[in-house]
Every structure is written in C-alpha cells, then in structure tokens.
Amino acid sequence: MSKLITGGLGFIGSHLARKLVNAGEDVVLFDVIPRSRLIDDIRDKVKTVQGDLGNWAQVLEAVKKYKVSAIYHTAALLSASAEEAPLAAYAVNANGTFHILEAARLFDVETVVFLSTIATYGTGIPDRVDDDVIQRPTTMYGVTKVFGERLGEYYNTKFGVNFRGLRFPSVIGPGRGGGGASAYSSLIIQEPAAGRPYEAYVDEEARIPLLYIEDAVQSMVALERAPAGRLERRVYNIEGFSPAAGQLVASIKQHMPGVQIRFSPDPEMVRIVRSWPRELDGSNARNDWGWKTRYGLEEAVSHFIKEFQARRHLYE
Amino acid sequence: MSKLITGGLGFIGSHLARKLVNAGEDVVLFDVIPRSRLIDDIRDKVKTVQGDLGNWAQVLEAVKKYKVSAIYHTAALLSASAEEAPLAAYAVNANGTFHILEAARLFDVETVVFLSTIATYGTGIPDRVDDDVIQRPTTMYGVTKVFGERLGEYYNTKFGVNFRGLRFPSVIGPGRGGGGASAYSSLIIQEPAAGRPYEAYVDEEARIPLLYIEDAVQSMVALERAPAGRLERRVYNIEGFSPAAGQLVASIKQHMPGVQIRFSPDPEMVRIVRSWPRELDGSNARNDWGWKTRYGLEEAVSHFIKEFQARRHLYE
Amino acid sequence: MSKLITGGLGFIGSHLARKLVNAGEDVVLFDVIPRSRLIDDIRDKVKTVQGDLGNWAQVLEAVKKYKVSAIYHTAALLSASAEEAPLAAYAVNANGTFHILEAARLFDVETVVFLSTIATYGTGIPDRVDDDVIQRPTTMYGVTKVFGERLGEYYNTKFGVNFRGLRFPSVIGPGRGGGGASAYSSLIIQEPAAGRPYEAYVDEEARIPLLYIEDAVQSMVALERAPAGRLERRVYNIEGFSPAAGQLVASIKQHMPGVQIRFSPDPEMVRIVRSWPRELDGSNARNDWGWKTRYGLEEAVSHFIKEFQARRHLYE
Amino acid sequence: MSKLITGGLGFIGSHLARKLVNAGEDVVLFDVIPRSRLIDDIRDKVKTVQGDLGNWAQVLEAVKKYKVSAIYHTAALLSASAEEAPLAAYAVNANGTFHILEAARLFDVETVVFLSTIATYGTGIPDRVDDDVIQRPTTMYGVTKVFGERLGEYYNTKFGVNFRGLRFPSVIGPGRGGGGASAYSSLIIQEPAAGRPYEAYVDEEARIPLLYIEDAVQSMVALERAPAGRLERRVYNIEGFSPAAGQLVASIKQHMPGVQIRFSPDPEMVRIVRSWPRELDGSNARNDWGWKTRYGLEEAVSHFIKEFQARRHLYE
C-alpha cells in the first residue's frame, strides 16, 4: 500500500513527500511536470508518475497501479496561474478533483486529504474568519476549491469516501518560488538567505496570514491520522500567524543583520493583499482533532533560513 | 435572435416557453427528451433541439445555430434523480453549466439566467434564510447548484458574461409531476383537481416554502430584463409563501369542497421536509430590481386548479 | 462474476441476454434507456443498470460493482441515429468504446466482445468483402466503429485486454424494429407475421447481406469462448446470406401464403442499399475458430415467424 | 484573419510558422509548451497561445479569438511518446483532433490541414504503399491518426469542413531532435554538423522513407491552397526518398569529409525500422494537385547542413 501525492513535485507536495519518506511510507508522486529539483534528495526513494489530473484515465491508472491507501491531493493551478488559464483550471481543479474522488471510490482508497485555501473566502467578510464564514470567492482558484470542498463532503456522506480537507493560509518555506500576490512572504526570506537583496512589492503594513511549510505538512499528516470520531466536520481552517511585512523584516534581520530589503509597493499588489482576510480562526481543528501550529514568526524565519542554506541545491 | 431554454420540455421550462412565445419571442427548447405533452399547445411555435447538456459540442451547436441572445438555464437532474444517479448529475449539472457558460462566452450570448435552489442551503441554518446564509448542501443537486452560482459569478466578473441567478423554493403548478420530497405540494392540488383522492406522505404540520409557477416564470423574465445598474449581486433568493400542509388542504377545499385528501406520513419524507428552511427571505430581489411575488397561497391554489382543469391534456 | 452487455435492452443485446441467462450466466444489462419490453421474460433473471456509455464514471462503476468477467459491447448509436446526432455518436461510440476498454483494463475484465459492422466498409469496394478490404466508411457510425476496431486491437497488444470483434451484416430477427435503410429486411417478415400488410421501400432486386439473430448471438458467445491460440486476428467478418428482396418474399409466402407485401421503392433508400457490399466473406472466422452460420434464408424466415408469433408481447 | 498552427513550437510547426510569416501571413502558434528556441527568430512576428488540445474550451477560445481562417493541425503525441503515455495520446490525438474539427465547424474556419503519417500503415503490407493500402496501425500514434483521417473525411462530407490531410514519411531537418526510432535520420546529419561524432543505432542497410522539412512545409501550404476541384480524396501520401543509412553517410561525407559516424545497431531499433514500409507512393498528390517533392537525398543533406550551421542557436 502506498500514499499518493498529487502535485508531488511542487512546493508543498515535495516537502510532504520528504516527511512521508522519512516516516517509512511508500510514496508515489503524481505530477504534470516530469522532474523537479525539489525532490533531488529523495528521488530514489519515491515513485513518480507523470500525468494530468484532468485526464481521468491517468489518475485511475496511477491509483490502481500503486495500490494507494491515501491520496494527498495538493495539485492545483494556483491563484495567479488559474487567472491566466481559467479553462485549464476548470479541467485540473474542478474535474481533476472529481477524478481523484472517483478514483478513491472505485479503488477503495481509505482517505483523501484535500488542500483548500483561504482564497475560498471572498471580500466583505470579518478580519478573522472561522470555518462558518460564507465563501464567495472571486477567483477561479477559489471557485474550484469551494467546489472541491462541497464535492468531497458529498462523497463522504454519500459514498463513505473518507474525505478530509484543510484550508491553508499562504504557506511559506524554502522552494515556494515566485508567482501570486503572496509570493513576497517567502521571497523576503529566501532571497536574502541566498545573499541577494530583495525588493518587496507590498508595503510594510501588509499583513496576511501565513503558515510555515513544516506545519502545513504536519497538519496534513495529522488530519489523515485523526480518529474519525473526533471530526465534527470535513474541512478545517488551519491557523498560522499574521505578521505585518515590517515585522517579517525585523525578524529576518535578527538572523541576518546586514540584509538588504526594500519596500517598493505596487498598488495593484497592495490592493490584492489588502482584500484578503487578516486571520484564519483555526479553533475547530484545535478542538476537534487537537491540531496545534508549532511555528510562529520567529520559529518559521529561523527554520526557513537554516533549511534553505543547508540544502540550497534543492530550492533554487 | 432567439431565447434558448435548457430543460425546455420540463415543468418550469415549458411554462416559461409559453410565456415567452406569448410575448412574441423566438424560442428554442433544448432538452434531453425528444417530446413532451407539456408543450403540446406551442409545439409549432417553438424550435426544439434534442441534446445532452453534458455534451459540450451539442450545447455549442445549438447556441450557434439559433443565434441565441439569452439562455434560460433551467435543466438539471433534480434532487431525487441526482441522488439516484450522482455521476450523471455531475456531468449534467456541473459540467453542463460550464458548457452553457462557455457557449455564452464563445458566442456572445447577452444574458444567462440560471435556476438555483433552496437546496443549496444545508442544515443547521436559520428558519428564514437570506442571500448571505452559508451554503453547505447535502445533496448532489445542491452541491452542483452552488458550484453553478459561483462559476456564473466568476464568468460575470472575469469574462463579462451577464450571469443572473434565482434561488427558488419548491415551485408548484400544473404538470409538476411526482418525484422528490416536495412533490406533495403540487400533487395535493393536482390529484384532487383531476378528480382523484390524494394521500399525502407528510403530516399536516409540514411546511416548506413554495413559489407558484407563474411567479417563477415571471421572475426569470424580470431578472433577465432588470437594468444592470440595479443588481448588487448575481444570485437572488425569490420569496414565495410557506403554508403548512394542513393550510394547503383548507385552501384547496374552498375551491373543491368534497375532495379526499388524507395524511399518511412517511417518516423518511417527513424528516427530509423538516430539514429544509422554513422561509426564503427575498428582500434583496425586492430592493434591488423590484421583484414582487404576486401569488400567495389563495391565488396559487385558485389559479392552479383553473389552469389544470382548462388544459388538462397538457398536464397528465 | 458476471457478463455485462452494453445496449442490453436493445435488439441484439436482449436476445444475447436471453441466451446467456439460459446458459446459467449472471447477466448485467447496461443501457441508457430505463426499460424495454424486449426483456420482459427475463427481467427478474438479470440485473439492469441505467447509464450512459459517454459517462466514463458510470461505465466504471457498473464494471466494478458487478465483478464483470466479460463485456459484450453491443451499444452504439446506429447508422441512422448517428447521422441525426453525430456529436452524440462521437461521445457514445468513440469515447464510449474507450471507456469500455479502460474499464476492462482497470478492473481486469477477461474478455471484451465488440460488435462492428459492414458499415465500416465504404464505397468502391468488391461485391464480396473479406477481412482485408480497406475500410473507408462514409457515416459516423462506420467511422467510430473502425476506430473501435483499431483501439481494441491496440488494447490487446499493448495492455493484454482480450479484445475480440465481429463485423456483422444487417441482423434480422423479431424485435429489430424500424430505423435505418436495412429495416425492411426484418419488417418484411415481422409485419406480415403480425397480420399486417407491408410496403417495402426497396425494389425486388435489392440485395444486402443478412445474419439471423440466433446466429448473431451464437457467434458472439462462440468468439468469446474461442481458444486464444486459434485467433489469427482480433476482428472477423461474420457471413450470413444475401437474398434479393423478392427471394425473401417468396420464402415468407411459403409459411404465410396470403400475406400482402408490396414494393414501393423509395429512390434514396434504393440508392443507399445499393451502395453496400453484396456479401461478407467470413472464411477467416470459419478457418480460425470454426464458426459456422446455421441459419440460411429458409431457416431464418421460419424461425423468425415462429418466434415472433410465440412471444409477440415481447416484440411489439 | 490568421492561420493557426497547432504544435506551433515543435519541429514541423516552427518551420511552417517561419514559412508563413515570410509569406506575410498572420500566424498564431498553439502549443502545450510555453516557449521554444525553435521560434527565436520569429518570436515577435507571431502570436503564441499556450493550451492543451485535450481541452476543448482552450481550442475553441483560440480559434475564436484570432479569427482563424486555416488551421494547420501538426500537434500530436508522436510515436514514442504516445507509447509511453497512451492515455494522454488518446486525449490529445483523438479527442484533440475532434476539438479542432469542431472548432473549425463552429467558427467557420475555411480549411483544416491535418498531418497524418506513414505510421498509420501496419505490418504485412507491400514495400511501396499507396493511398489505398489497408491501414492497420500497431501504435497509439497510428491508431489515433487513422481515426483523425476518417473523422476529418466525415466532417468534410457531412459538415462541409474543408479537411485536407497529408501522410508524411519521417521528416528530417534541423531541430528534429531525438526520440522515436526514426530519430537517427536527422541526428546522423545534425550531430556531425555540430562537430560531434555520431553513433547510429541502426545498421547501414536500414532504409526508411524520408521527407525533407522544406518539402514537408511546402506541401502543407500547397495542399491548403490547392483548388478544391482538383482533390479526388482528402488525404494524400507525400513521397520523399528512401536512402539506406549507408547512403546517407556517403552523402554527408561529401559535405563534411572528416565526420565520425559509426554504426552500432540496437536489435530492437533495427527490428522497428525494418517493420516500416520502404517507400511511400505519392502519385495521387502529384496527379491530383500537382505536388512535386523537390529535395532528394543530396539536396536535403546539403540544405540541412547549411541551415543548421547558419542558425545553430535555433536548433540546439
């Protein structure tokens, strides 16, 4: 039996793969791209399948072939790429998630762990959003993720597919790369750690909720393993921390005093970032299955820098 | 230029078709079934296309061929049939709505009017639900309709497709037919009007929000024509009336004193009906584009009986 | 383990179902229509699944659920209906066959028996066509059936799916019904057997290759069971008999002397019928796996009339 | 109005693009990959669209957006890649071609030029194959290309889509790259031209039909422009030349005397190459629309070397 990670060659997928490999699991990575430096250190410890989530037959073939007991469904066209190619996003994010759920049903996969996102919430909502805030997303990414949540819940009640989802804030960590309005929150650490100056496209007051990659990965594993009786719902907000960009810089400078970080706000980027919720309320995850985020601002910055510098060949 | 009605041979679609034909419109009916008595009186005044919403090419062909200026998208696998065939419902309701939106975008259709439903709301919500209540549907019908709402909103903001939706309560009227837990609300009138006794599967206290077919049809037309500047949102609850089943019977007996209606509650049906919201709050439709429901309990029952008896050959 | 028949409620499918039921098999009928008189006598001895071949998930669900060991894939939009709805034919005949082959591969179905047709041959070919005549079909039905043959052969060599196909001439028998230019060959027997006069739309010289339903069904079963080592190819012409329409009438009158059959040729129909091959050469089926057609003109007419009259309630 | 080239960033597509740009056409390149060195010199003279042929909505969007008057449909998963990923090949080659044909029909594209291949012929055929040899391909590439031919012919007769196809032998030229058993025929020239030794995986007697890229591109343009009245069929073999590998080397050495080319036959590759037809008979193209191949062995080798060395930055 193996664990299949969709998007396994991506940022979150590769960190999760490493975690599972270290835990002794048989890991299969399903991704549309054929290779990635991000898995250089575990390449010979995992299996990889190149395939397209929008192609149901490829999805089913992989799930059957590797006798999959759990699917971590992290693959999606994310915010910015989905806006550039919304028709591709429909195929991958909406139909792709249907393919995953059907594969799970048809081949008796025990658990499907689904990544959802703060982008499922829209505008005009409280600064702090809990699991019961209305979801009116404004992007194709958000629209298809809300659909994935509802469809997964339905597969759970109708077909008994053990669907479990997490709504993440922006995940930061080494290898996150550029792209999307939240990219600054990782680059502002990674670029200086690489010895390069960084010019942020937001202002010092910009404040979005973040989750460190170690917590992101750990919460997925914890939710997969949580006793069924503990779950009062199928999708949970995961709470991180919400530093202003200026606070991020202050923390970075404690570890790397001489770094050059400038703010050169792009008005459009500032507007987008301001439209997001300030904080995710993750109390249901805490209360129901005991999830506790470990990395706050300091811990995240510290670990990020060390990890990046220790294995820089993986991350750029 | 013509108006295309998906599900045009169904209950709501056929009543809408009659209304549009009478208003002098060129009307095209798209339906998966080849014929229906419900359009017997207008058959030579409309065009019909047999096709499957799940088949994108058939949808696009129809929209192109008939130079469609507005699509009334009423077709869907409804509550009960979607639960029996959820995989068909995914194809028709989810992908079918995507096909309609793409057809509108690719062939420059001016307006898409989308039927949504009270079934998009789930359980654990207030008795009276307004447009901002959280939607956590428990059926494939509801799940796919929520998706249709979000996707339509996205096509509006992203591509400028003039998407407009209405969330209906249970629509009653002649020709509604059986199927689904809300069927009693039409059959309790139609069966006695046909001279047959009726045994209701709910109890006298059962109370669900209803909308009379004349209002349903009229609200669709009104929303299609509402000035763009008046719309503060893209999907609106439409408010009707919410009589207890016993009240329905009392009203029916005013018109047909000797009818035989008995209550023989089926516990499962009672449970389903009780899980629904008691009332839809339609104040946004009223305030934004001036919608006013005309048929209350008395008017609906009276018109229903007269219409059924006047053109019984259409309705059974 | 069970045998699944796609198009199981159709003409060939229902006759095959009866044959398999009588042989003690567990039989599952997959069809897009919900019911058919043609299986009235075996309804409680088979399982039926309503589904759409164009919907991969419904196909896979059925194959998984019933632990299918062999699929008889008889469903298709036939000649005339495919010309009326070529986009539906693409979905059902082309993609539907892909879905069947994938289902077989994913769920380890032992054998797929595929119905192909004389309509895969086009025009400008010899009067007598063997398995090696070039296939240049002129209809969507033919185009998609050629594709099914080639795709099935590929699944055989590439994936080891035990694909076996038969190219039938026009199959005649009780319950064949109208539709398509070859319909006369069954109706000319069935209508008189029902006591009605029949007016043929072809002329007395019209001559197309026919196969009696008993042989059609028997050849499918025989090919499913033929030892693998005997097959030199994957698709075989099945040879029947090719009477002129006038000969058909003469044979019918031997059994029912007073019948009224008139010829009133429709030029378009005559043209179509003349464009077909006169004879199928089935020598490879005979030589490789020992198939022998049993019903010639006399036997077919005789059995047809008796069968129709004995169980007329099934056939009209 | 513009000309759209699917696979526009590939080997044949990019050479064709250059030809059309030089002829003053508006050219749009549709490709699944985002960029390619092969179009470096014409990048600012063409439009590019990243999209997936398997995604009908992306195909239709491109055809609509750019007011396409002709589609050159060169994109496909080729021989080797289709064998590695047959399920992707089904989506791209089979359904993708359907998408192209539908796009042409729905958006009134005047002409579709389709690339077919010698790989549509199977084994057991004459050494010299003309347009009427039976096609029984043994690869997914061949199976889907035969389907494309038949489907295109059908769209021509049924819907009036002006479909025209060419069956190419192995096309050689700068930028052809590796991959597939025929790769040697380009690499054996390109590698020495780049100053590198080359070790061929076939033997000196290996002989497959070749077509030089200039002729390939020119024949597509000529067929697009051929008067309709000249075409007796929709798909034509294009004849090139069929040198033994040893002859190729002799010709190369006339231009580059000191090159190092060794033969180190791989038995599997030799087997594959031997299974192909020796020669394509292109007499119908010659007779019907006057096509004349200009590049024989000497001309091809000479032009290849010069072109490669003149613009080496494009080709590797």
pLDDT-based confidence at C302, cuts 50/70/90? very high
How buried is residue B257: exposed, middle or buried, by Cβ count under 10 Å (0-12/13-18/19+)? exposed
* Nearest-angstrom CA–CA distance, D55 and D77: 15
Element (H, E) at B261: strand B261-263
Are B157 and B105 in contact, with CB atoms under 8 Å apart?
A: no
> Residue D29: which of D90, D19, D149 has the closest Cα?
D19
User: D304: pLDDT confidence band, cut at 50, 70 and 90?
Assistant: very high
Q: Check: CB of residue B12 under 8 Å from CB of residue B74.
A: yes
The per-residue pLDDT for D160 is 98
State the CB neighbour count (10 A cutoff) for residue B110.
Answer: 13
Which residue has tokens 């929008």?
Answer: A54
- What's the average model confidence in pLDDT over C111-122? 96
Asked if residue D123 has pLDDT above 90, the reply is no
Closest C-chain CA to A99: C57
How many Å apart are CA B10 and CA B36, to the nearest integer? 8
Sign of CA dihedral D253, D259, D263, D269: negative
Which residues have C-beta within 8 Å of that of residue A226, sequence separation ≥ 6? A164, A288, A289, A290
Confidence at residue A272, expressed as pLDDT on a 0 to 100 scale: 87
What are C217-258's pLDDT values in tens digits? 999 999 999 999 999 999 999 999 999 999 999 999 999 999
Closest CA to D68 of D18, D38, D30, D21: D30
D261 has which bridge partners?
Answer: D198
Residue of B nearest to D62 (CA): B106
Q: Are residues B123 and B193 part of one domain?
A: no
pLDDT at D178: 82
How would you class A249 by CB atoms within 10 Å of its CB: exposed for 0-12, middle for 13-18, buried for 19 or more? buried
Instruction: Please state the rounded mean pLDDT for residues D24-28.
Output: 98
Residue B6 to residue C43: CA distance in whole angstroms: 34
pLDDT in tens, B124-135: 889 999 999 999
Q: Which residue of chain C comes nearest to B53, CA vs CA?
A: C88
Q: Helix, strand, or coil here: B137?
A: coil
Q: Do D102 and B64 touch (CB under 8 A)?
A: no
Query: Do the domain assignments include residue C244?
Result: yes
Q: Measure the CA–CA gap between B185 and B130, rounded to whole angstroms.
A: 22
Q: Searching chain C, which residue's CA lies closest to the CA of residue A108?
A: C64
Asked if residue D287 is part of any domain, the answer here is: no
Tell which residue, C221, C199, C293, C210, has the closest CA to residue C74: C221
What's the pLDDT band for C109 if we cut at 50, 70, 90?
very high
CB distance from D277 to chain C under 8 Å?
Answer: no
User: Is the domain of B113 the same as that of B262?
Assistant: no
Residue range C199-210, pLDDT digits in tens: 999 999 999 999
Measured between beta carbons, the chain D residues lying within 8 angstroms of C98 are 90, 94
Do C81 and C138 fall into the same domain?
yes
Other beta carbons less than 10 A from residue A105's beta carbon: 20
Which residues 125-154 of chain C have a CB within 8 Å of chain A?
none
Q: Tell me if chain A has a CB within 8 Å of the CB of B228.
A: no
Per CB-CB distance under 8 Å, the chain C contacts of B54 are 52, 54-55
Q: Quick check: is C289 in a domain?
A: no
C124 pLDDT higher than 90 = no
Same domain, B70 and B159: yes
Look up the CATH number of the domain holding residue C306. Answer: 3.90.25.10
What residues in B contact A284, CB-CB < 8 Å? none
At residue B13, the pLDDT reads 98
Whether residue B285 lies inside any domain: the answer is no
Residue A109 lies in a domain: yes
D33 Cβ under 8 Å from any chain B Cβ: no
Tokens linked to D63: 């055809």
The count of structural domains within chain B is 2
Residue B141 burial (10 A CB sphere; 0-12, 13-18, 19+): buried
| Residue D100 sits in the same domain as residue D229 | yes
Tell me the nearest-neighbour CA distance from A55 into chain C, angstroms: 11
- Does residue C282 lie within any of the structural domains? no
Pick out chain B residues at pLDDT < 70: none
Average pLDDT by consecutive 10-residue portion of chain A (316 residues)?
97 98 98 97 98 98 98 95 96 98 98 97 91 95 98 98 98 91 96 97 96 98 98 98 97 96 94 90 98 98 98 95
Residues D224 and D302 in one domain: no
Per the domain annotation, does C286 fall within a domain?
A: no
Q: In this structure, are A148 and A193 located in the same domain?
A: no
Which pLDDT score, from 0 to 100, does residue A178 have? 82
**The pLDDT of residue D169 is above 90:** yes
Please give, rounded to a whole number of angstroms, the shortest distance from the CA of D60 to a CA of chain A. 11
Are C158 and C232 members of one domain?
yes
Give the DSSP per-residue string, chain D.
-EEEEETTTSHHHHHHHHHHHHTT--EEEEESSS--GGGGGGGGGSEEEE--TT-HHHHHHHHHHTTEEEEEE-----HHHHHH-HHHHIIIIIIHHHHHHHHHHHTT-SEEEEEEEGGGS-SS--SEE-TTS-----SHHHHHHHHHHHHHHHHHHHH--EEEEEEE-EEE-TT--S-STTTHHHHHHHHHHTT--EEESS-TT-B--EEEHHHHHHHHHHHHHS-GGG-SSSEEE---B--BHHHHHHHHHHHSTT--EEE---HHHHHHHHTS-SEE--HHHHHHH-------HHHHHHHHHHHHHHTHHHH-
Q: Is B95 on the interface with C (CB under 8 A)?
A: no
Task: Respond yes or no: is residue A72 known to be catalytic.
Answer: no
pLDDT of D38-61, one tens digit each?
999 999 999 999 999 999 999 999
Q: Is the pTM of this model over 0.90?
A: yes
D142 lies in the same domain as D34: yes
Question: Are the CB atoms for A271 and A201 separated by under 8 Å?
Answer: no
Give the list of residues 6+ apart from residue C271 with CB closer than 8 angstroms, or none.
none
Contact predicate B43/B19, CB 8 Å: no
C272: pLDDT strictly greater than 90 = no
State whether residue C58 sits within 8 Å of chain A by CB: no
Of D132, D143, D153, which is closest to C150 when you measure between CB atoms? D143
Residues C194 and C222 in one domain: no
The nearest CA of chain C is from the CA of B314 a distance in Å of: 24
Q: Partners for C (CB, 8 Å, 3+ pairs)?
A: A, B, D
Residue D289 lies in a domain: no
pLDDT of B234: 98
Asked whether residue B216 falls in the same domain as residue B203, the answer is no
Share of chain C above pLDDT 90, in %: 93
Instruction: For residues C141 and C111, give the distance between their C-alpha atoms in angstroms, rounded to a whole number.
Output: 23
- Are the beta carbons of C138 and D157 separated by less than 8 Å? yes
Residue A58 maps to which CATH number?
3.40.50.720
Model pLDDT, residue A179 = 82
Same domain for B119 and B28: yes
In DSSP terms, which residues pair with A4 in a beta bridge?
A28, A71
> Residue C63's domain spans which residues?
2-170+211-237
> Which is the catalytic residue, given D72, D141, D184, D236?
D141
